[in-house]
Amino acid sequence: MRAVDIIIKKREKGELTQEEINFFVQGFVKGDIPDYQVSAWAMAVLLNGMTPQETTDLTLAMVLSGRILDLTGVVDIAVDKHSSGGVGDKTTLVVLPIVAACGLPVGKMSGRGLGFSGGTLDKMESIPGYRVDLNTDEFKRQLKEKGIVLTGQSLDLAPADGKLYSLRDVTGTVPSIPLIASSIMSKKIAAGAQAIVLDVKVGNGAFMETLDMARELSALMVQIGDLAGRKTICLLSDMNQPLGHAVGNALEVKEAIDTLKGDGPADFREHCLHVSAYMLVVGKRAKDLNEGRGMAEKAIANGSAFEKFRVLVAAQGGDVSYVDDSDRMARAKFVEVVKAPCSGFLSRVDARGVGEASVALGAGRAKKSDAVDHAVGFIIHHKVGERVEQGEPLFTIHANDERKLAEARASVLSAHIIGNAIVPPLPLFYE
Ligand code: URA
């Protein structure tokens, strides 16, 4: 078998066999198939798609490219969550401590930024010393002792996804339903999850721009979950505007900390409570969503969720003084408040535009080897549907470079559309 023939077959819209997919994935992981061939193949998949069977085969090939974590004896039920990626999505930073504080131990392996969407690991690394490279023994020990883990994908779990994920980020091959489904599900299955809550983002700041695409991705992931014997639930949530106010690594961590302390933007808090409630139900800590939500609210109100976040940061070597005083986190050289150019109702805050502007400021990567700048990003002050008055703060830019600041000002200003007509707020969840 030759890699080039598999690429050509996919280019010609053929259906790959399980044998071909296994050959390709194994060859990539072993280093026999180079990045450029895998990139060409990923582009062929993006353009021509995959059948559900091919996607399932790809998922399982990626799971089998490494070890499968066995959490028996560590937790009584292994529950995991995953977001399909968005702008300002710092949900994990709040949901994990909430559910752990409610007595549901949760260990999660997260990823880095992907295209215009931010990555949990990049965010957590805004806290000096925080380690995202726990090995599986450390992962298990911390999960058992502290009930909370948030780390990077261990190199021995679904390594094929780890390699493919970073290639896709820089080759324009992220927004493919089969590639996203197999990427997410391979990680979750390899990480030992028995029940999985997936937050599938819908909108122009998500990889799934329409509800139909999000439904297709969700159905595929539920199907793969079923085949692998994992209970999988998908929530379809809005990503037409950034979630919360903060976009950018350290800024998002600060917003997550505020939310854990009982403040934070209303939409973001509500989103986190909803996802937490589902996790508590699938994790059998709450009998229904109402009870789960009540537990989650209480964990914020009594400080136990914030305390869990401190425990998490300390356990992974992070400097907890940055959590206690989040103003210590990296600050950008230039902080500029941009004012509303006119009065009216906000009809659009283009999430993708904001996400791309944040990557351009340095919060994300343009190529695999780029380092991220933790300090830069935006505070978006208003939500779609809100009335704004001319001259009031519309957004704040945190930048470390004057030229990039000017570019960000223009692009984020044009991401905001203010009109005379009353506009309803966007929903948080669709389904
Ligand atoms: N999140 C993932 O883990 N993988 C993708 O491909 C997209 C979002």
pLDDT at 309: 98
* C-alpha to C-alpha distances, 271 to 124, 150, 207, 274, nearest whole angstrom: 20, 19, 19, 5
Closest by Cα among 294, 261, 254 to 277: 294
* C-alpha to C-alpha distances, 24 to 18, 101, 321, nearest whole angstrom: 10, 42, 46
Does residue 46 line the site of ligand 1, with CB under 6 A? no
Residue 187 a catalytic site member: yes
In this chain, the answer to whether the domains covering 3-49 and 79-324 adopt an identical fold is no
Q: How many angstroms is it from 272 CA to the middle of ligand 1?
A: 20
CB-based contact 232:226 (threshold 8 Å): yes
Class level of CATH domain 79-324: alpha beta
Does residue 110 line the site of ligand 1, with CB under 6 A? no
Q: Determine the Cα–Cα distance for residues 147 and 74; give it in Å rounded to an integer.
A: 10
Residue nearest to atom 2 of ligand 1 (CA): 184
Q: What angle do CA 418, 88, 170 make, to 5 degrees?
A: 105
Q: Determine the Cα–Cα distance for residues 131 and 317; give it in Å rounded to an integer.
A: 6
pLDDT at 194: 92
Residue nearest to atom 7 of ligand 1 (CA): 180
Could you say which of 90, 123, 187, 382 is catalytic? Answer: 187
Domain segments of the chain as ranges: 3-49, 79-324, 331-419
Token pair of 187 as six digits: 């990680």
pLDDT at 111: 81
Token pair of 19 as six digits: 């044998």
Could you say which of 10, 81, 82, 382 is catalytic? Answer: 82
Q: Determine the Cα–Cα distance for residues 89 and 201; give it in Å rounded to an integer.
A: 10
Residues whose CB is less than 8 angstroms from the CB of residue 132 and which lie 6 or more positions away in sequence, other chains included = 110, 121, 124, 125, 150, 151, 152, 316
Residue nearest to atom 8 of ligand 1 (CA): 84
Q: Determine the Cα–Cα distance for residues 177 and 16; give it in Å rounded to an integer.
A: 16
> Quick one: fold of 3-49?
1.20.970
Q: Choose the residue to mutate in 120, 171, 174 for probing ligand 1, maximizing ligand atoms within 8 Å of C-beta.
A: 174
Strand order, beta sheet including 377-380: 246-247, 377-380, 393-399, 334-339
Residue 183 a catalytic site member: yes
Does residue 264 sit in helix, strand or coil? coil
pLDDT at 366: 75
Return the CATH number of the domain spanning residue range 331-419: 3.90.1170.30
Residue 161 a catalytic site member: yes
Token pair of 361 as six digits: 């400021």
Local confidence pLDDT in tens for the 431 residues of the chain: 999 999 999 999 999 999 999 999 999 999 999 999 999 999 999 999 999 999 999 999 999 999 999 999 999 999 999 998 899 999 999 999 999 999 999 999 988 877 788 899 999 999 999 999 999 899 999 999 999 999 998 778 899 998 998 899 889 998 899 999 999 999 999 999 999 999 999 999 998 999 999 999 999 999 999 988 999 999 999 999 999 999 999 999 999 999 999 999 999 999 999 999 999 999 999 999 999 999 999 999 999 999 999 999 999 999 999 999 999 999 999 999 999 999 999 999 999 999 999 999 999 987 767 889 999 999 999 999 999 999 999 999 999 999 999 999 999 999 999 999 999 999 999 99
Does residue 184 line the site of ligand 1, with CB under 6 A? yes
Residue 163 a catalytic site member: no
Q: How many angstroms is it from 180 CA to the middle of ligand 1?
A: 5
Does residue 84 line the site of ligand 1, with CB under 6 A? yes
Q: How many angstroms is it from 424 CA to the middle of ligand 1?
A: 30
pLDDT at 346: 98
Does residue 111 line the site of ligand 1, with CB under 6 A? yes
Residue 90 a catalytic site member: no
Q: Choose the residue to mutate in 184, 187, 217, 239 for probing ligand 1, maximizing ligand atoms within 8 Å of C-beta.
A: 184
pLDDT at 117: 82
